[in-house]
Structure 1
Amino acid sequence: MNNEAVHNNSIKYRSDIDGLRAIAILAVVIYHAFPSRLPGGFVGVDIFFVISGYLITSIILKKLDMGNFSFIDFYIRRIKRIFPALLTVLTACYFFGWQALFVDEFKALGKHVLSGIAFVQNFVLYFEAGYFDSASELKPLMHL
């Protein structure tokens, strides 16, 4: 269920949208597990983000119409929704890396964890890219 709709009473919950999100996620999972079974499954990521954009835009427009939209409140809600999962993933990767990686690999992971917390991971990865860079398979937070 869309928590944003429940907390704000700003848009009506729609199970069909959650169903589409589930299909999109399932397509991506199948693509990663069995790429030959669903070669275009990566499109599920795009579908998921379009649906999320629709829902977020609906909430913003409704709040604007009601005259009570606030950027601060909007970002506080986003942080409350995203940070628990983000911190869980970053913590798990960090402790796994602590046990499994060599010192320089662990140092790189630490940089990626910090850049993930600061929401600048894409910039860090962009500036790391090059001929002598380590393979993307060795960057556990590449898809962050």
Structure 2
Amino acid sequence: MITLPTPNLSHPKYRPDIDGLRAIAVLSVVTFHAFPTWIKGGFIGVDVFFVISGFLISTIIFESLDKGTFSFAEFYVRRIRRIFPALILVLSACLAFGWMVLIADELNQLGKHIVGGALFASNFVLWSEAGYFDNSAETKPLLHLWSLGIEEQFYILWPFVLWFFWKRKFNLITLTFLIAACSFYLNLRGVKKDPVATFYLPQNRFWELLCGSILAWVVLYKKMHVKALD
């Protein structure tokens, strides 16, 4: 059992509106996969989820840096507690089921996907498999973990980036805009040259999470300016 001292990180208040957006995003993706001809473009729910994730995580980091209470250890322990229980359950269930029903080659592929999921590298694993001889999506029960991989890669890198530039008194919203613009440019250029890599690689997707970061900064500091005026 991992124990922590008195919490230092900020913790955003419960937002029912954000939970509602999460529900809409999840339902749109699930419905799209179940009835692709009925709801076209439902996959945009993943993009909505990325923006929400960027907003929530960046709110925590911005507030904690301002208060001087940011803790890398506490930040990552929170992420572990939130993600690993459900992830371990899913990976274990898939492994147990695969062990009983899959042939050797299929089990080998599943094992590779389980390792990729556990290491938050599913997007890289799936990208490496893409091509003419790739298996169909229906044979990949852990295909959905590509988005978790991108989220976790963002969660690993973004706190270090913000902390590094915050220590050097760099304007964090300017930094966020610059990185988001670079990522968006890579996305636009990559769609034409290599759409598969653009879909899976984090540098082409981070701009979506960073849009949430920009929203977090605006919401947070707009409130602070209003309080200062009052």
What TM-score bracket applies, with the shorter chain setting the length?
A: 0.7 to 0.9
* TM-score, reference length from structure 1: 0.86
The aligned counterpart of 2:40 is 39
The structure-2 alpha-carbon separation of the partners of 1:131 and 1:29, relative to structure 1 and needing over 3 Å to count, comes to closer
Q: CA distance change for structure 1 residues 84 and 11 in 2, over 3 Å: closer, same or farther?
A: same
| 1:1-20, Cα deviation, whole Å (9 max, x unpaired) | xxxxxx75532222111111
Runs of 4+ in 1 over 6 A off after TM superposition: none
* Deviation (angstroms), 1:62: 0.9
Question: RMSD of aligned C-alpha atoms?
Answer: 1.7
Segments of structure 1 that go 5 or more residues without pairing to the other structure are 1-6
Kept in 1, the 8 Å contact 2:29–2:45? The answer is yes
More moved, 115-124 vs 37-46:
115-124
TM-score where L is the length of structure 2: 0.56
- Give CA deviations for 1:59-92 in whole Å, capped at 9, x if unaligned: 1111111101122221111111111111111111
Q: Percent of aligned pairs with the same residue? A: 61
Match of 1:30 in 2: 31
C-alpha distance in structure 2 between counterparts of 1:102 and 1:109, whole Å: 10
Higher alpha-carbon deviation: 13-22 or 121-130: 121-130
**Structure with the larger RCO, 1 or 2 (CA within 8 Å, 6+ apart):** 2
1:116 counterpart SS class: helix
> Could you tell me whether the CA contact under 8 Å between 1:11 and 1:62 is conserved in 2?
no
Q: Which amino acid aligns with 1:125?
A: L
TM-superposed CA distance for 1:95, in Å, is 0.9
- Aligned residue pair count: 138
Query: Which stretch has the larger CA shift, 54-63 or 28-37?
Result: 28-37
**Higher helix residue share:** 2
Answering whether residue 7 of structure 2 is matched by residue 12 of structure 1, we say no
Q: Name the residue aligned to 1:134.
A: 135
Q: Deviations over 1:78-114 (max 9, x none)?
A: 1111111111111111111111100121122112111
Q: What amino acid is aligned across from residue 102 of structure 2 in structure 1?
A: L
Whose radius of gyration is greater, 1 or 2? 2
1:52-67 aligned at under 5 Å gives the runs 52-67=53-68
